[in-house]
Amino acid sequence: MEIIIQQLLNAAQLGAVYSLIALGYTMVYGVLRLINFAHGDIFMVGAFIGFMLATTLNMPLVLMMPLTMLLTALVGVAIERVAYRKLRDAQRVSLVITALGVGIFLENFVRIVVGPQTRQLPAQLPDSVLKFGSGLIITEDKIWIILISLALMIILWLFVQKTLMGTAMRAVADNSEVIPLMGINLNRVIAVTFAIGSALAAAGGVFYGQAYSIDPYMGIDLGWKAFIAAVIGGIGSIEGAVLGSFMLAGVEVFTVAYLSSNLKNGIAFGLLILLLLIWPSGIMGKPLLKKV
Amino acid sequence: MSSSKNKHSQALLAKLAAASSSWGIRSVAFLVCIALLQIAGDFDLINQYYLHILTIIGMNIILVASLNLVNGYLGEFALGHAGFMAVGAYAAAVIATKVGPPGAMTFVLALIGATLAAALIGYLIGLITFKTVGDYLAIVTLGFNMIIVNAIQNMDYLGGPRGFGGIPKTTSLIIVALCLVITYTILRNLVFSGHGRRWISIRENVIAAELMGINIYKAKNMAFTIAAAFAGLAGGLWAQYQQFITPKSFDYIKTTDLLVMLYLGGTGSLSGSILGVVFYMILMEILRNVLAMIDPRLAELRMLISPLILVIVMLTRQSGLLGNREWRWLKPRKEDSTDEYSS
């Protein structure tokens, strides 16, 4: 029983990180209909910005995390401005390939600047060990990671549902052709979307660096996983992204715990394909309508 | 009686010669050139390094051109090509080491086995994949790529994650060239036939294609199976060239490489696949050598320049270097008058 609770917490921690990345995928997909293949690498860049701030400037977490989020948001907005904006009306596949190129660029850039080694962010979250009842042991940082992530998700949800800009985002996601005619600045909405998505990914990167370790190529693997989570939940849907992330993390953690760590990816992807065959547009996604 | 039969067969031969003359002659001329290069290499007249690059280029062209069937002609966005290469590579490795004695027969058998195994897996995966479209199809194919790699990692018989070694080196430049010619002959005949036109019509407008009576599911699956078969062939060549293969080398990073070369050259054009691979590979080698000459520490910059080139090509020429035009010598003669078949 204690082991199961511990594994559930592990899954929740991993799910929180996946969610923070998956939200960026799903939001960008909502407004641009683009699978932003560079998003996993933005997550990695966020982790490394956090690493630099924490190690070279010795910043405490309360300062480091908002600053990392801000800087990564700028990176995301810059990428959209330089590489994606011109291709917005082009064939979608050109945009996807450009995103792939941007991703490879970011990986190699970090690799050259920081080096290919695996690193660890200095542990800055309170990490005292809590003991409950008969042998249930929980490290405090796990709780913090889950709680802060959930708080960020709730803030995002409130932003999207309650503010004017959030309404504009939902409107653009609904119809990006008519909405600019209503006086909504499409460029600004898209820039804000990239900024928020990148900032959340950066938060995920900092947490991931606290819990696990970071290297320049981690964005590929984690990015794909988070993307799959977004697809399982129904890409374009915020609630779906969170749901899919926790589901995927649960499957992975319990596969590693009870079957074999070698089967992790195979089972995760098998589940993805199975779910897509049952719900072709994800659990919470809107079905794709084709008009003649 | 016999003279009339003779006449008949002569006429048939003449017809065949006329139909295939230019393509056949060019293929033979190409093979002779490559054979001369190979011989020159054997006598140390040419640096073996150049022949190595040419061999890799040849295998990559087979991979990219076959990926082009699905991503270019059919207009889908499949992300799992390296998985089929893995199937072919491992099938060839098993046949070459565990089935027959080393030799020409086993080599040919390994290549055929690699092609058929990949085609079979491709067909089965296609049955599921084409229930989905668009972005979801991209993810499902990517998922199958990961599953194939993961499955191989879990098979002790295939060496698991440590890889499969001890494969005899039987692939050479001339054999790659021969396979390339066979691939291109088949692909060219396919894309300029009814099948090719069916795929293009699905790409241009799937609903209109369906209304014209095309069985979409079947046509898509056919393109996918053929693409997988050639990826398997290239994998078989690859395994017997590298002599050592690991599952990791067939994951999505390899697929991404192929996509970069495909979209760089231009989709929907067999010429584009050649141009994309040759341009990318040679550029990378030049950059590697030039940067290393300036300063060994700069050699890493190559990895920054290649994605930048991709982004710049996409921003300035969205349809790749060649668009979907075709070099004249790759087109069947009767296609010459109708230069563009799509807008």
**Spatial CA neighbour of B342 closest among B320, B323, B318, B315:** B323
Domains of chain B: which residue ranges? 23-248
Q: Is the Cβ of A284 closer than 8 Å to some Cβ of chain B?
A: no
What is the pLDDT, as a whole number, of residue B15?
66
Residue-number span of the structural domain to which A59 is assigned: 2-216
Q: pLDDT by residue for chain A (292 residues), tens digit each?
A: 777 888 888 899 999 999 999 999 899 988 888 888 899 999 999 999 999 998 888 888 888 899 999 999 999 999 999 988 888 888 777 888 888 889 989 998 998 888 888 888 888 777 777 777 777 777 888 888 899 999 999 999 999 999 999 999 888 888 878 888 888 888 899 999 999 999 999 999 999 998 888 998 888 888 888 888 888 888 778 888 999 999 999 988 888 888 877 777 788 788 878 887 787 777 776 665 555 5
Interface test with A, best of B68, B124, B135 (most A CBs within 10 A): B135
Q: Is residue A182 part of a domain?
A: yes
Structurally, chain A folds into a number of domains equal to: 1
Q: For residue A119, which phi and psi values (nearest 5 degrees)? A: -130, 170
What is the pLDDT, as a whole number, of residue B180?
95
How many whole angstroms from its chain centre is CA B122? 14
Q: Is the Cβ of B342 closer than 8 Å to some Cβ of chain A?
A: no
Q: Is residue A221 part of a domain?
A: no
Residues of A in contact with B248 (CB under 8 A): none
Q: Is residue A140 part of a domain?
A: yes
Count CB neighbours of B140 within 10 A.
Answer: 25
Mean pLDDT of B201-218: 92
pLDDT band at B297 (very low <50, low <70, confident <90, very high): confident
Using an 8 Å Cβ cutoff, are B107 and B92 in contact?
no
What is the pLDDT, as a whole number, of residue B218?
93
Q: Is the Cβ of A275 closer than 8 Å to some Cβ of chain B?
A: no
A263/B154 CB distance under 8 A: yes
Q: Which contiguous run of DSSP H or E holds residue A202? A: helix A186-211
What is the pLDDT, as a whole number, of residue B87?
96
Q: Is the Cβ of A108 closer than 8 Å to some Cβ of chain B?
A: yes
Residues of B in contact with A290 (CB under 8 A): 207
What is the pLDDT, as a whole number, of residue A287?
63
Using an 8 Å Cβ cutoff, are B309 and A114 in contact?
no
Q: Is the Cβ of A7 closer than 8 Å to some Cβ of chain B?
A: no
Residues of B in contact with A96 (CB under 8 A): 77
Q: Is residue A228 part of a domain?
A: no
pTM score over 0.95? no
A269/B136 CB distance under 8 A: no
B144-191 tens-digit pLDDT = 998 899 899 888 888 888 889 888 888 889 999 999 999 999 999 999
* Radius of gyration of chain A, Cα coordinates, nearest whole angstrom: 19
B135/A111 CB distance under 8 A: no
A vs B: CB pairs below 8 A: 121
B236-262 tens-digit pLDDT = 999 999 999 999 889 877 888 898 899
| Alpha carbons B126 and A54: distance in angstroms, whole number | 48
Of B318 and B333, more confident: B318
Residues 128-167 on A with a CB inside 8 Å of B are none
Q: Is the Cβ of A105 closer than 8 Å to some Cβ of chain B?
A: yes
* 3-class SS string, chain B: CHHHHHHHHHHHHHHHHHHHHHHHHHHHHHHHHHHHHHHHHHCCCCCHHHHHHHHHHHHHHHHHHHHHHHHHHCCCCCCCHHHHHHHHHHHHHHHHHHHCCCCHHHHHHHHHHHHHHHHHHHHHHHHHHCCCCHHHHHHHHHHHHHHHHHHHHCCHHHCHHHCECCCCCCCCHHHHHHHHHHHHHHHHHHHCCHHHHHHHHHHHCHHHHHHCCCCHHHHHHHHHHHHHHHHHHHHHHHHHHHCCECHHHHCHHHHHHHHHHHHHHCCCCHHHHHHHHHHHHHHHHHHHHHHHHHCHHHHHHHHHHHHHHHHHHHHHCCCCCCCCCCCHHHCCHHHCCCCCCCC
3-class state of residue A133 by DSSP: coil
Residues of B in contact with A112 (CB under 8 A): 300-301, 303-304
A83/B311 CB distance under 8 A: yes
Residues of A in contact with B143 (CB under 8 A): 228, 269-270, 272-273
Residues 44-103 on B with a CB inside 8 Å of A are 77
B25-65 tens-digit pLDDT = 888 888 999 999 988 888 888 888 899 999 999 999 999 99
Q: Is the Cβ of B124 closer than 8 Å to some Cβ of chain A?
A: no
* Single-letter amino acid, residue B63: L
pLDDT band at B5 (very low <50, low <70, confident <90, very high): low
Structure tokens belonging to residue B134:
């668009």
B136/A281 CB distance under 8 A: yes
Closest residue in B to A115 (Cα) is B300
Using an 8 Å Cβ cutoff, are A272 and B147 in contact?
no
A157-210 tens-digit pLDDT = 999 999 999 999 888 888 878 888 888 888 899 999 999 999 999 999 999 998
pLDDT band at B341 (very low <50, low <70, confident <90, very high): very low
| Alpha carbons B207 and B214: distance in angstroms, whole number | 10
pLDDT band at B292 (very low <50, low <70, confident <90, very high): confident
Q: Is residue A229 part of a domain?
A: no
| Alpha carbons A47 and A118: distance in angstroms, whole number | 12
